[in-house]
A and B are shown apart, each in its own frame.
Chain A
Amino acid sequence: MLTIQTPEAVMFWFLAPLSVVAALGMLLVKKAVHSALLLAWVMITLAIFYIAQDALFLGIVQIVVYTGAVMMLFLFILMLVGVDASDSLTETIRGLRPIAITAALGFGGLLVSLIGRATLGHDAYGLTSANSEGNVQGLAKLLFSTYVWPFEVVSALLITAALGAMVLAHHQRTTERPTQREQAIARFRGASLGSAAGLPNPGVYARHNAVDVPALLPDGSAAPNSISATLKARGDMLDSAQFELGEVDNTVQEEK
């Protein structure tokens, strides 16, 4: 018979609302990176729940595999793909959102009422006897006896997935790589000769010299093509006005 101690109940009622709020926030925030961080938080709370439920091994694996490897992979791909219009929350299919929310309320209500009305016919046992030799030892015993066949199949699945990812990520050129001569010709036959000598460098100022400040044109306005379009799209571009020198001090002090 399982009795749940007060500390676990306090932990549950403290962390469960936090994880639900974080999961909801994952739906509602605009930037994908923020979604990834909120999901990492949900996964950490789940790891704490696993450890609280005597699943020590799974709790540690959850932190190592999910919040470590999987979320790192997600963030890596987010950085690779960058920001684009798909981050916006506007509806593209009309009426999708109300339908989705209604369906979710129905589905969630169904699940909750099912759990509320279902009975197992016995009280909760708890894992004290199953974990008597230690959680990892118990899991290993099951994994290499009853579940040894699924374990082998899963290893085949892992190899297949690694190979599949390599095949999908492999990039085959469909056209010949343009030579330097062809690139030069294309530059001079382009729409304007403005970039024939290459695009302008980003701004070089006395107090700031970095790729995120645009260079100035002769009339004092910022040259739009002097910084990367990605920085511009992210809003990481700095204004060059703050680096202007204002009044220039012309008095030279003689050094002795």
Chain B
Amino acid sequence: MNPYNYLYLSALLFTIGAVGVVVRRNAIVVFMCVELMLNAANLTLVTFSRINGTLDGQVMAFFTMVVAACEVVVGLAIIVAIYRSRRSASVDDASLLKR
């Protein structure tokens, strides 16, 4: 086995997350799929850090984790705010700009 297998795995996980963002309607599940995509990118960074023999990739993965934590906090606050005004966590219901 060579370390490139981790890259294949992360490509698969990223694709699955992308499908989830498009297909699912519950805003929280959509958000979890975004998290899955971020995690897949992190696995790529860690694998390349190992392949290249430097720790820079791990530092970048660390920064990704911090940004993901910020994103979760703000995103969930937005979901709660939308839920308060529209009584629904469905991404299809937040379509006020369309009309």
Contacts and interface: CB of A to CB of B under 8 A. Distances in A.
Interface string B76-96: 111111011001111111000
Interface in A14-35: 16, 19-20, 23-24, 26-27, 32, 35
Contacts, number: 234
B16 A23 contact: yes
Of the listed residues A23, A78, A129, the one surrounded by the most CB atoms of chain B closer than 10 A to its CB is A23
Contact of B53 (A69, A73, A103, A127): A127
B15 A111 contact: yes
Contacts of A97: 23
Contacts of B74: 161, 164-165, 168
Given A53-B6, A57-B58, A2 B63 contact: no
A169 B51 CA distance: 43
A96 B25 CA distance: 12
B78 A4 contact: no
Contact of A139 (B27, B47, B59, B68): B59
A20 B24 CA distance: 18
Of the listed residues A12, A85, A127, the one surrounded by the most CB atoms of chain B closer than 10 A to its CB is A127
Contact of A124 (B20, B39, B50, B55): B50
20 contacts: A23-B13, A27-B33, A35-B29, A54-B50, A55-B50, A58-B42, A62-B65, A66-B68, A74-B32, A77-B79, A80-B80, A86-B25, A92-B25, A103-B22, A124-B51, A125-B51, A127-B49, A157-B66, A157-B70, A161-B74
Interface of A: 2, 4, 8-9, 12-13, 16, 19-20, 23-24, 26-27, 32, 35-36, 39, 42-43, 46, 49-50, 53-55, 57-58, 61-62, 65-66, 69-70, 73-74, 77-78, 80-81, 84-88, 92, 96-97, 100-101, 103-104, 107-108, 111-112, 115, 120, 124-127, 129-131, 135, 138-139, 142-143, 146-147, 150, 154, 157-158, 160-162, 164-165, 168-169, 171
